[in-house]
Chains A and B, each alone.
Chain A
């Protein structure tokens, strides 16, 4: 199916990616081509086929609900663009 520039604008918003108008119309073409490719899936009837989310069938492993990691807050926060007193800083969200 062919996507319109407006639809692409709305997808970009959902994905929180800022794009200028020229990019939006380019993407409308590119993404429509990709969707055309993936719609070849419709050539086969999959009624009743169990979806496969993951290779292997062992299921998710559980572990004991116990502390396993040491506190490394400073090291883990070091790559943050802006952090202070253990908090990540962002523009004010509550007036």
Chain B
């Protein structure tokens, strides 16, 4: 069965191992072979840890033989290269960290190691998670497996492309303004950004600390639930970690959605939405209605202010977070600095790419003396309005549904000269970050051979609900089973 192995989901691979049909070592070797064959075309992986992966796979097989296997034991996966891995390079897609080897593991890395998952390598990404096309990686753009001339989305473009091309069944990812959900939509897979605070940010290189949240991309909601259960939970080492009980997300997947109230915000279906994408999303709504969901309209009246507020809050926090890259304690240092100021300026000028510089500069400006009230405080007030809009919507519905992105994937190079056009990719996703709510994207159609994603936003800490809605949808549709022709 070795030629078909990569088309299995995490759950399918686990069943095959339980049935003794395949070992972790075989799954991992197969994944490594596929990466070697396919990665040169799509550049989804920055680094492959062949030896480490084989050792971990053998260890997982030994654990299974001893009768101690858990639900994730021996399953191959990739980490977005934003998660620190002890002893292995963590670049964050930047020249600044080209040779950085972290002295500790991110909590997410530790937890998935403890669950017995086998990391085969580190996935490409937009530099410091800033981008919506994965064209901002210092180590080269990523191709969309559905058509390598198109972008996979970003910033978790490497993670999403690796899963879509079935190089690995699942990968970690992070989402500050849509960086899990938008690439999941563009690549035809499922991705979940949990509630802010659900997954520890310790060892996850910071971009905008009040928005950043780790999550997962995989082929199905069932697989997302499996991994998210292991990744979630309170962590003393993250000062904003939520001390909230974590349910077994897999256990609730089969809950019926009969009577579930779904809200469609009129503001998500207006100007800027591609008509064919809108049609695919409406078709998904019909499927959910057939499963017993009750659909109504809701209002998110401040939706049009999400992108403007986000492009104050995120750059402001980024300018502060990225001040740590000073050429002194870690990261790139320029040659022969004349003095300390020259060391800072040239190390940062050489180490950061164009988009990172833009965002640090915007943040520096909006936080500078005299501008704080006009920009940062104003943005925080709008953030409150956006969050209040969701609270109000959730008084009458259980889930808010809309398109994940205004269009399907665009061609490489199409938006690289226009930062604002690129920012508008996140039109429907940033609101969940600003309000801290969980959001999930799942495939619901194909337009001209490219996938369409539908987004579900839930109440805080109600990931179980959006995962079960997605799982129920995936029981009666087959969009999540569609793969690029090359697979």
A contact residues vs B (CB 8 Å cutoff)? 3, 8, 11-12, 14-19, 23, 27, 30-31, 33-35, 37-44, 46, 49-56, 58, 60-61, 63, 68, 72, 75-82, 88, 90-93
Contact = CB atoms under 8 A, between A and B. Distances in A.
A17 B384 contact: no
A85 B380 CA distance: 45
A70 B440 CA distance: 39
A14 B364 contact: yes
Given A33-B419, A34-B362, A38-B311, A88 B382 contact: no
Interface-centre pick from B100, B308, B319, B460 (highest chain A CB count, 10 A): B308
12 contacts: A14-B364, A18-B346, A27-B358, A40-B305, A46-B381, A49-B385, A56-B460, A68-B236, A78-B101, A80-B328, A81-B331, A91-B339
Contacts of B304: 40
Contact of A49 (B341, B365, B384): B384
Contact of A54 (B240, B348, B352): B240
Interface stretch (B248-256, B271-279, B371-379): B371-379
Nearest to B338: A91
A92 B420 CA distance: 42
Interface-centre pick from A72, A78, A81 (highest chain B CB count, 10 A): A81
Given A11-B365, A38-B375, 8 more contacts: A11-B361, A16-B323, A41-B378, A41-B379, A50-B381, A50-B384, A56-B240, A81-B331
B interface, by DSSP: helix, strand, loop or mixed? helix
B381 A81 contact: no
Contacts of B357: 17, 19, 23, 27
Given A18-B349, A27-B357, A79 B330 contact: yes
Contact of B340 (A41, A63, A80, A91): A91
Interface string B415-434: 00001100100000000001
A75 B332 CA distance: 18
Contacts of A17: 345, 348-349, 352, 357, 360-361
A82 B329 CA distance: 8
B436 interface: yes
B196 interface: yes
Nearest to B376: A51
B358 A82 contact: no
A88 B329 CA distance: 7
Interface-centre pick from A40, A41, A77, A80 (highest chain B CB count, 10 A): A41
Interface residues of B, number: 73
A44 B303 CA distance: 12
Contacts, number: 169
A53 B381 CA distance: 9
B308 A39 contact: yes
B337 A91 contact: yes
B380 A52 contact: yes
Given A34-B311, A60-B239, A76 B333 contact: no
Contacts of A3: 365
A34 B420 contact: yes
A40 B308 contact: yes
B240 A37 contact: no
B76 interface: no
Contacts of A18: 342, 345-346, 348-350
Contacts of A93: 339-340
Contacts of A46: 378, 381-382, 385
Contacts of A80: 328-330
Contacts of A77: 329
A8 B333 contact: no
Contacts of A37: 307-308, 311, 420, 423
A27 B358 CA distance: 7
Nearest to B421: A33
Contacts of B378: 41-42, 46
Given A37-B423, A38-B308, A51-B384, A44 B302 contact: yes
